[in-house]
Amino acid sequence: TDPEVAAVGRTAAELRAAGAAFETFTRQAADVDRNKCDDEREGFAALHVSTETGKILGATVVGHSAGDHLSEVTLCMQNGLTAADLAGTMHPYPTAAEVVRQAAQASVRAGIFRPSSQKLLHALSRPSEHVAWSAEGGIGVLQLTRPKALNACGADMARSIGEMVAREPADVVILRGGSEDSLRHFCAGGDVKAMALTLRDDPQAALPGLQLLHEYRAIESVHRRAATASPVLALADGVCMGFGLGLAYGARYRLVTERSLLAMPECAIGIPPDASFAFIATELPPGLGLAMAVTGQRLGSEEALRAGLATHFVPSDSLPDLEHALRTLRPADSPAGFAAADEAVREVLGRYTSKRPGAEGDNESDGFW
């Protein structure tokens, strides 16, 4: 037909007759880009989305090659994916395919404006009380201050980390966990407990999506700063897992102690590892990333160093002196460029890092894995 019409799943009438709880979201090509669409018939999409699960129950697409564009919706339905999953696909032109995506995004926005989501967004608009930034003499220190939870990060903490690392001025940035007088435990990952409790009360809560969003933004901020603006050091003493590992891996220098434990333990609760581990795994020895992802394998300091997850070993009793040396690296009125700051950091690390236990034959790592 002209325009082509394609449909999949159940119609709105069929869903109403079955007593299904759903909402219909529609978009037209003219709503997407009026400059490129002379006729709104060039693209029209209607998605019927379950209000209980967010899954797509049916769809109608009108436009050029509508049947081809509907294939994405069909795949989502066959694999039990949600409208939010479909909303993340990208199309460069305002054809029927782009309109399908826009309709899916409308369902996502509807969820965001639910009262429970608005309460969450309001909470996220404020700085987290568990993330502190201090700076002196050009040395910035980002401190995670939730030691009783091993610095497990909620969405508010991840958001504050990303914003502070991205915007606060400093020639060198130190990421640390523990408490003010102790470095024990860097970060145990994302706050899975908070997400589980939220989803138990509201299966359509926006918290999991916002948690991942701010985790990835925080990791990106650390990667970007470490690569272009300032040397970043992660003092990964104690537990460094999940989001904590992703955060630490973005640093230029990743310091471990004899107490360090690095892992991606998500598989134990039935979810695949996130926090940029798909990228991290590609830089590990063959097979190690897969083993960590599917078994939750924990690495100690020696294994982390050999695998490249860590760059330096520091005995835990030397950490206070190392941190003091880093914090007093240079006077505040003598700004340094990236190269100068990096050289100063290397000099301090050279004084305080040491050979790890069992380092004899260190260059012969064949068969270690």
pLDDT at 30 over 90: no
**pLDDT, tens digit (0-9, with 9 covering 90-100), for 288-334:** 988 888 888 899 999 999 999 999 999 988 888 998 898 888 644 45
pLDDT tens, position by position, 120-179: 777 777 888 999 999 988 899 999 999 888 999 998 999 999 999 999 999 999 999 876
The answer on pLDDT for 366 being more than 50 is no
* Residue 173 and residue 250 in contact, taking contact as beta carbons nearer than 8 Å: no
Q: What DSSP letter does each residue of 301-332 carry, written as one string?
A: HHHHHHHTS-SEE--GGGHHHHHHHHHTSS-T
pLDDT digits (tens, 9 = 90+) for 78-92: 777 777 777 665 444
Q: Convert the pLDDT of each residue in 204-214 to its tens digit.
A: 777 787 888 88
CA 49-51-56 angle, 5° bins: 20
| 62: confidence class by pLDDT, cuts 50, 70, 90 | confident
Instruction: Using pLDDT thresholds of 50, 70 and 90, give the confidence band for residue 96.
Output: very low
Mean pLDDT, range 45-52, rounded to an integer = 84
- Number of Cβ within 10 Å of residue 133's Cβ equals 18
- What integer pLDDT is reported at residue 99 of this predicted model? 60
Peptide linkage before 315 cis (omega within 30 of 0):
no
Radius of gyration of the chain, Cα coordinates, nearest whole angstrom: 25
Instruction: Compute the Cα dihedral for 170, 175, 179, 183 and give only its sign.
Output: negative
Specify the pTM: 0.68
| CA separation for the pair 160, 162 (Å, rounded) | 5
Give the per-residue pLDDT at 6.
76
Rounded CA separation 315/255 (Å): 10
